[in-house]
Structure 1
Amino acid sequence: MVGFAFPALSALFLTPWVIRGLGTSRYGLFLLCMTTIGFMSMLELGLASAAVHELSRARVQGESKHASIVYSTVVCLFVVLATIGAAIVFFGADFAVTAIFNISIEEQAEAIVCVKMAAIGLFCNLAVAPSVSAIRSAERFDVQSKVGVAVTTFATLGTFWRGSQGDLIGALAFNLAGSVTTLALLSTLARRLDPARTRLVSPTRAVLSELWRFASFQMLSRVAAAIGQEIGKLVLASTLGTRELAWFSTPFSMLQRVQRLLGTASGIMFPRIARLSGAGERDAVVRTYRQAQKALIPVAMAMTLPLGAAAKPFLSAWIDPEFAEQAWQPMIIAAIAFAISGAGVGFVQTLLGLGRSRAVFKVEVAHVLINTSLLLPFTGMFGVTGAALSFLCGWLSLAIGQMAIERELGSAASRGIATILFATTALALPVCFAVHWLALSLVDIGVLGPLCVCGLGTLTILTGLAWIPGVFGEDVEVAAELRGAPRRLLSRIRQSR
């Protein structure tokens, strides 16, 4: 939770200063570099998930030697992939800036330097994947969060310092320094946490075949996921410009943090379900999935929908009214999309844990096909709002994930989830109307006014849901967890002091 909240709050308070220092168009260049790194991360090819799967199974079976071979094989693969990806971005920077993206001649020289710098960030983001896989398989998510908080502090403050002074290259350099530091820290910690399983040995073809059997469809799913998440931003930068990219990406990235929080929180499902499935405990797998979905879906809706309801007053107070006028509609649509995405997080982790990467591939491909087929016509008709609409329509692909879950786990896995969805929606609608009008009345006191109203809306939805009798059905412990969450969070904060 802290690993999510700290970067989110840092971005919340410092982003407006960076936008004012750089200007909307040059801030769009900064976002374009981040988008390039995100898009090219498709070269991860699902091998990190395959590594988590194999390392988790090896841990259950006590095979430290096999685990070290898996780890070493993945390290070699990612060094090669990171080098290839970085070379593509570095040597293709001139062509991309001058021929693909809609960047003014005055900004092209600086943009080329920025994209070439992004190649360093891409290398680090890919090369760190084996260490992250080892830490995830050990279920030490706290380690990754602590490193994330420390590095984010450094990178965010540096970006704020240089960005607020109008130094785009300097702001980007601090972000890249954060990536390099993350690579160094996580690689070292992974080795220290479990030296027997992360010992570097000679990679083998047999392990490579095992990884391929798991990741063959996951590779294509990873490519599809990267396209689905980043294609709208790249199309906006190519057809309209970096200013429009900033209007779309700034609220989009903020809401995407909710999805990343849920992804991190649900990350424990993958190794746990892999172990339970390997041990033949089908009932435990069904119960784990159902309870996780009954928590993930309402939390996603409660965290995103109030932000969408307060989009215009929030953006006006956060950045400025002119920016808000262009970005409030995309923010509302993105909020609805990320509310829906809460269900998708559970689908993906469960199907991967069961070793059904083909089903994940189908969901991701359907998302990309819907998104990309609507992207150009919607963008042509509605501009930035059209890109958000096409992204929203892409989430219709979750129907495929639901069918795959029912086929693998039976109807018991989905029992009561529709009730949760209906109850959360019924609670969210009146709360969101109240959030909108309250946020409008508090714009003048600054961003904390609309933000506090959104937080109050989130708490109202979750508290109301937790106390509605019978809404969680047989999984009453989920309601108990929601009711006790604030008390446990405060207790942990006091203990950390």
Structure 2
Amino acid sequence: MLKQNIIANYVSQIYVTVISIILLPLYIKYMGSEAYGLVGFFALLQAWFSVLDMGLTPTISREAARYNGGASTPLRFNQLYRALLVIFAGVALIGGTVLFLLSELIATHWLNLTELLVGDVIVAVQIMAVCVALRWITGLYRGVITGFEKLVWLSSFTAAIASLRFIGVFLSMWYFGFTPFVFFMHQLVIALIEVVVLNAKARCFIPKVNGPTNIGWSIKPIKSIFKFSLTIALTASIWVLVTQTDKLILSGILSLDSYSYFTLAVLLANGILVLGGPISVAVMPRMASLYAEGKHSDMIEVYKDSSQLVAVIAGTVSLTLIATARPFLLAWTGDPLLVEEAAPVLQLYAAGNLLLSFSSFAYYLQYAKGNLRYHLIGNVGLVAILIPCVTFAANYFGGVGAGYVWLVMNVFYLFIWVAYIHSKIESGLHVKWLINDCLKVILPVSIFACIFYFANLYFLNDNRLYSLVFVGFVFVFLFVISIISSQKIRLFLSQKVGLKRVK
């Protein structure tokens, strides 16, 4: 089931990532770069709204996994689900209302408008507030479905919703007009559909309670897991500060036009984290379940195997973007100005996000064991350093300065703090994991990526077709090298080929 879940997640995430990336130039072309800046701000609001989660989404996912592992009862799970439902609904209402009321202040005192009318932007932000609240509450339902490892269905649904959100919006704008109002009204309708369907599906997996026992609507069941939830909440809040502070600062410094280019580059680089997402969604509940069953060695094996898979997939994409940032952007958009603005930012964030993909595994291990203390401490220290550094760099050097800070911080976090975490909770794991499951895959690919980077500088060509062929060749070549460099992937493929020959 784990392999099926990972494959389903990857197919879904790759599809969602590809269509969102392919369509970005069309958004800028038909809506205008300033209007697309509003779309980037919308994504920023969703990220900051997740601070209100209070650790509840991963908590319900973990409790569902524990129930599957026999560590909980139907009554306890139902009581916990209802308690979380009350909290989710309340926070969604309060958070959405506050954001709605702040719409005028955001439009007039934060965003730097040049062409869009203030009134239109106020309405757009108000619609964003409702959309963000609705999409946030789906976290509860997704947590239930994920915890019960029904990820094939969830992946299919996510792909369908993404199609409606990214592709369907062009039908709405073609008919009603390419304006921010039409764009965000379409997102609101899709958000409503998403809430209704996910709610219905999650209820299908909630276990029934036999007998006349009263489940109730009390929030008392939260108390038993409050410490764990609070720890996740704090780490999630700090995580938003770590990953979104640069974007928030730049949204107030840059014009919406320039901010759209920065957002585009960061969104591309975030595709690396998206590629690691399906593995984390499948691995975290599985590791928690194995730990609850006392299968420690199996849990570590899942940990190491999934690390190599991330190294192969996310590593290939990241190093391809670093080596071919300019030809990639040129082939994709055909806009020389965009290439000059976005390419350096894309390279820096791609490198930083690759390191972050590996650092995240220390969190998965702590999550499975139910103790996020070291993760919390590390992120508090990181954000204490990151915020002033990003503020300074962004004010003086714009997006490129923020990119350099992001890369350096991730280097220190992976090679220093993650090593410390491993020494405390899984002694003897770090060096072997870092060398065998990360560096042995990444380093050979990095060498060839450097060769391609300098080759492109020497044979620089502004032809879009040439650029596209070059990027495609680099990606395929680096992907093959990464597979050859991964012992686990080589063994898996050789076993599959061997089985086919026997048949």
- Report the equivalent of 1:268: 282
The equivalent residue for 1:171 is: 183
Q: 1:432 aligned to 2:449?
A: yes
Q: What is the match of residue 415 of structure 1?
A: 432
What residue is the counterpart of 2:420 in the other structure? 403
Aligned match for 2:399, one of 384, 390, 397:
384
Q: Report how far residue 196 of structure 1 moved.
A: 2.5
1:108 and 1:162 map into 2 onto residues whose CA distance is 23
Name the residue aligned to 1:210. 224
1:459 to 1:486, Cα distance in 2 relative to 1, 3 A: farther
**Does structure 2 retain, via aligned residues, the 8 Å contact 1:440–1:450?**
no
Instruction: Go from structure 1 to structure 2 and tell me whether the alpha carbon gap of 1:272 and 1:425 turns closer, same or farther (over 3 Å shift).
Output: closer
For the pair 1:44 / 2:53, whether they are aligned, the reply is yes
Report the Cα offset of residue 417 of structure 1.
Answer: 2.6
Q: Which amino acid aligns with 2:396?
A: M
Please, which of 254, 272, 293 is the counterpart of residue 240 of structure 1?
A: 254
Instruction: Describe the SS at the equivalent of 1:101.
Output: coil
- Structure 1 residues 333-342 or 9-18, which shifts more? 9-18
Q: Distance in 1 between matches of 2:128 and 2:226?
A: 29
Change (3 A) 1:447 1:131: farther
Q: Secondary structure at the match of 1:202?
A: coil
Is 1:357–2:372 an aligned residue pair? yes
Distance 1:89 1:486, change over 3 A: farther
**In the alignment, residue 169 of structure 2 is paired with which amino acid?**
T
Does 2:345 correspond to 1:334?
no
Q: Give the structure 2 partner of residue 288 of structure 1.
A: 302
Deviations 1:34-74 (A, max 9, x none): 21122122111211111122222223226112111111111
Paired position in structure 2 for 1:64: 74
Query: Matched residues in 2 for 1:378 and 1:339: separation?
Result: 21
Q: After superposition, what is the alpha-carbon deviation per residue over 1:202-229, rounded to whole angstroms, capped at 9, x for unaligned?
A: 2334411123121112111111111222
> Is the counterpart of residue 306 in structure 1 residue 324 in structure 2?
no
Which of residues 22, 37, 43 in structure 2 aligns to 1:34?
43
My pick for the range that moved more, 154-163 or 345-354, is: 154-163
Aligned match for 1:251, one of 265, 283, 306: 265
Contact 2:483 2:489 in 1 (8 A): no
Q: Percent identity?
A: 17
The SS at the match of 1:267 is helix
Q: Which segment drifts farther, 240-249 or 427-436?
A: 427-436
Q: What does 1:54-93 align with in structure 2 at a 5 Å threshold?
A: 54-61=63-70, 63-93=73-103
* Partner AA of 1:100 in structure 2: W
Give 1:478 shift.
Answer: 4.5
1:286–1:413 CA contact under 8 A, matched in 2: no
With over 3 angstroms needed to count, the CA separation of the structure-2 counterparts of 1:24 and 1:479, relative to structure 1, is: same
Contact 2:269 2:353 in 1 (8 A): yes
CA distance in 1, matches of 2:380, 2:496: 36
Alpha-carbon offset, residue 413 of structure 1: 5.8
C-alpha separation in 1, matches of 2:435 and 2:117: 51
Distance change (3 Å), C-alpha of 1:109 and 1:444:
same
**How many residues matched?**
478
Match of 1:95 in 2: 105
Q: Deviations over 1:260-309 (max 9, x none)?
A: 23122122222222222223333333332233223323432222111121
Q: What residue in structure 2 maps to residue 449 of structure 1?
A: 469
**CA distance change for structure 1 residues 311 and 58 in 2, over 3 Å: closer, same or farther?**
same
User: Does structure 1 conserve the Cα–Cα contact (< 8 Å) formed by 2:307 and 2:438?
Assistant: no
1:139-165 per-position Cα deviation (integer Å, ceiling 9, x unaligned): 111121111111111111133345675
Q: 1:157 to 1:446 in 2, by over 3 A?
A: farther
* Gapped regions of structure 2 (runs ≥ 5): 1-9
Given candidates 18, 37, 46, the residue that maps to 2:27 is 18
TM-score, normalising length from structure 1?
A: 0.89
Q: Secondary structure in 1 aligned to 2:429?
A: helix
Q: 1:354 to 1:225 in 2, by over 3 A?
A: same
Aligned AA (1:293): S
Q: Partner of 2:178: helix, strand, or coil? A: coil
* 2: CA distance, partners of 1:487 / 1:183: 45
Deviations 1:419-461 (A, max 9, x none): 4443334322332245444695584217743542343144233
Give 2:336's aligned amino acid.
P
Q: 1:86, 1:119 within 8 Å by CA — same for their partners in 2?
A: yes
1:416/1:42 CA distance change after superposition, 3 Å: closer
1:486 shift after superposition: 11
- Is the Cα contact below 8 Å between 1:46 and 1:222 reproduced in 2? yes
- Is the 2:328–2:471 contact (alpha carbons within 8 Å) kept by the matching residues of 1? yes
Counterparts in 2 of 1:247 and 1:404: CA distance versus 1, 3 Å = same
Q: Which amino acid aligns with 1:169?
A: F
Q: What is the rounded CA distance, in whole Å, between the counterparts of 1:454 and 1:173 in structure 2?
A: 40
2:200 counterpart residue number: 188
The residue type equivalent to 2:284 in the other structure is F
Q: 2:339 aligns with which of 310, 321, 324?
A: 324
> Does the Cα contact within 8 Å between 2:312 and 2:479 map onto a contact in 1?
no
Q: Contact between 2:394 and 2:402, CA under 8 Å: does it hold in 1?
A: yes
Matching residue's letter, 1:455: F
Change (3 A) 1:144 1:239: same
Instruction: Give the C-alpha shift of residue 184 in structure 1.
Output: 1.4
2:478 is equivalent to residue 463 of structure 1:
no
Alignment partner, residue 6 of structure 2? none
1:297 is matched with which residue: 311, 329, 340? 311
d(CA) in 1 for partners of 2:83 and 2:179?
Answer: 40
State whether structure 2 residue 373 is matched by structure 1 residue 373.
no
Distance of 2:25 and 2:216 partners within structure 1? 49
Q: Structure 1 residue 481 and structure 2 residue 492: aligned?
A: yes
Cα 1:483–1:41 shift into 2, 3 Å: farther
Q: Does the CA contact (< 8 Å) of 2:320 and 2:471 recur in 1?
A: no
Deviation at 1:311, TM superposition (A): 0.7
The 3 A distance-change label for structure 1 pair 91 and 452 is: same
Query: Which whole-Å CA distance do the structure 2 matches of 1:184 and 1:458 have between them?
Result: 42
Counterpart in 2 of 1:226?
240
Q: Which moved more, 1:9-18 or 1:133-142?
A: 9-18
